[in-house]
DNA sequence: TATCTCCTAGAACGATCATTCTAGGCGAAT
DNA sequence: ATTCGCCTAGAATGATCGTTCTAGGAGATA
């Protein structure tokens, strides 16, 4: 796959993290990615909306891999909870609270106005839910309960990102990780 | 307080819910509020940013009153959890998933780019945290634990809004309410 | 009636937006 | 050597953005 295309997607993802969809201009993308306008429309004929959907899908898949890596390293889904939340908290601190999940940003911002972006975010969330659900089910939860709990975990981390960025503090996010650990442990008991 | 000012704030809040901060133009505000541009700058000399901060503060206070009303009606902070999440879920369904919390929207969107809006969202969240914390402490939790749990509840509902709007379904949001109920019950036990 | 303050009213401004368009560079295939 | 397809390059375009500005209406006070 083209290097230029990669640079465009990466740069757009970074800009989305701190500025959102409507707050990011294609001029900023061209500068940040060091690529001309023509290249954006060559790779994404649908313009900004198509580019945005690609960013959601590709960075959503990357976050899923990251979660799976952390979960496998932790070994146990119960212990994976604080590992995951603390990892996210560390990343936030290291980037001065910029490195928030872009999918959650865009999902809230444009789900009611840009249908293709809403659909892209739904498919990303579906992958996340399944990744967590699978591990919860493997630990003994029935499918329905595992799915519901997986969604609560996703909601908690995304809402936790919101509070952390606003407050410029990861204290709450880490505590929420502990709460999720308790919830998972109780469900499995 | 001026009727026109109220109309401007209300209209802006409604537009922020579905389109976010950057996605809402002042022209839309003038049309939706039936007020001229001059009135916006008369009441909010700081322009869009000052208007946005006012919207956050005023609708944040309204949400807090709503929570306190629901919590008082439920009587018990444990039972208040599903009441609160289900109430939010009902509102979402009735408005075709438009009526999401505008504070969470704006907080994620512009916390890194518009410092006055970030500060406004922080003070709103502080009020919410305190409202929940007070009730948890009254039920027997020590202050630190009550604060941490209050923040997790806020994170869960805001993240739940995100999932619900994206998926156009309130199933997960209601289930998360049950999970928060379990978490509160376990903490109090 | 005259004056003052508060607010309405919307045209005008320069900047910036997403998008379109024309032109050309470059490597592979013929 | 020539052609062809992929991609780069950025100027041009029309729309829209937030903001500023001038002008005047409405009601209270004198």
pLDDT in tens, A15-74: 999 999 999 999 999 999 999 999 999 999 999 999 999 999 999 999 999 999 999 999
Report CA A142 to chain centroid distance, whole Å. 26
Q: Does B85 contact chain A (CB < 8 Å)?
A: no
B43, B49, B51, B54: CA torsion to nearest 10: -120
Calculate what percentage of chain A has a pLDDT beyond 90.
98
DSSP B133-187: HHHHHHTT--HHHHHHHHHHHHHHHHHHHHHHHHHT--HHHHHHHHHHHHHHHHH
Q: What is the pLDDT of residue A106?
A: 97
Phi, psi of B7 (to 5 degrees): -60, -40
DSSP A94-157: HTTT----HHHHHHHHHTTT-HHHHHHHHHHHHHHHHHHHHHHHHTT--HHHHHHHHHHHHHHH
Q: What is the pLDDT of residue A1?
A: 76
Cα distances from B125 to residues A109, B36, B70, B149, in angstroms, run 19, 32, 18, 14
- Domain spanning A56-188: which CATH class is it, in words? mainly alpha
Instruction: Give the other-Cβ count within 10 Å of A46's Cβ.
Output: 12
pLDDT at A182 exceeding the cut of 80: yes
Asked whether the CA dihedral A123, A128, A132, A138 is positive or negative, the reply is positive
User: Mutating which of B156, B157, B173, B188 best tests the A interface, going by the most A Cβ atoms within 10 A?
Assistant: B156
Contact B84, B71 (CB under 8 A): yes
Q: What is the pLDDT of residue B157?
A: 98
Query: How high is the mean pLDDT of chain A?
Result: 97
pLDDT at A148 exceeding the cut of 90: yes
Instruction: Give residues lining strand D (CB < 7 Å).
Output: A 2-4, 35-39, 41-43; B 24-28, 37-38, 41, 47-49
pLDDT in tens, B129-175: 999 999 999 999 999 999 999 999 999 999 999 999 999 999 999 99
Q: Which residues of A touch B154 (CB under 8 A)?
A: 159, 163
The separation between the first and the last C-alpha atoms of chain A, rounded to the nearest angstrom, is 47
Task: Give the DSSP letter of residue A76.
Answer: S
pLDDT in tens, B93-135: 999 999 899 999 999 999 999 999 999 999 999 999 999 999 9
- Measured CA to CA, the distance from residue A172 to residue A46 in angstroms comes to 39
- Collapsed DSSP state (helix, strand, coil) of residue B114: coil
Q: What is the pLDDT of residue A161?
A: 98
Q: What is the pLDDT of residue B177?
A: 98
Q: What is the pLDDT of residue A99?
A: 87
Confidence of residue B65 (pLDDT cuts 50, 70, 90): very high
A-proximal residues of B, 142-171, CB under 8 Å: 148-149, 151-152, 154-163, 165-167
Instruction: Give the other-Cβ count within 10 Å of A125's Cβ.
Output: 24
Confidence of residue A109 (pLDDT cuts 50, 70, 90): very high
Q: What is the pLDDT of residue A70?
A: 96
Q: Tell me the mean pLDDT in the region A157-178.
A: 98
Q: What is the pLDDT of residue B1?
A: 76
């Amino acid at each position: 796959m083209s290097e230029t295309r990669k640079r465009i997607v990466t740069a757009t993802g970074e800009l989305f993290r701190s500025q959102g969809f409507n707050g990011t201009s294609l001029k900023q993308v061209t500068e940040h990615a060091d690529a001309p306008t023509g290249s954006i429309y060559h790779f994404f004929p649908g313009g900004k909306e198509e580019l945005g959907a690609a960013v959601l899908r590709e960075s959503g898949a990357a976050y899923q891999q990251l979660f799976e890596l952390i979960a496998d390293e932790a070994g146990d889904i119960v212990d994976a909870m604080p590992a995951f939340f603390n990892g996210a908290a560390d990343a936030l601190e290291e980037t001065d609270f910029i490195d928030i999940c872009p999918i959650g940003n865009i999902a809230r911002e444009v789900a009611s106005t840009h249908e293709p972006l809403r659909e892209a975010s739904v498919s990303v969330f579906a992958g996340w839910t399944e990744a967590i659900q699978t591990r919860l089910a493997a630990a003994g939860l029935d499918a329905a309960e595992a799915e519901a709990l997986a969604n609560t975990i996703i909601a908690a981390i995304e809402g936790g990102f919101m509070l952390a960025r606003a407050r410029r503090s990861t204290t709450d996010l880490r505590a929420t990780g502990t709460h999720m650990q308790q919830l998972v442990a109780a469900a499995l008991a």
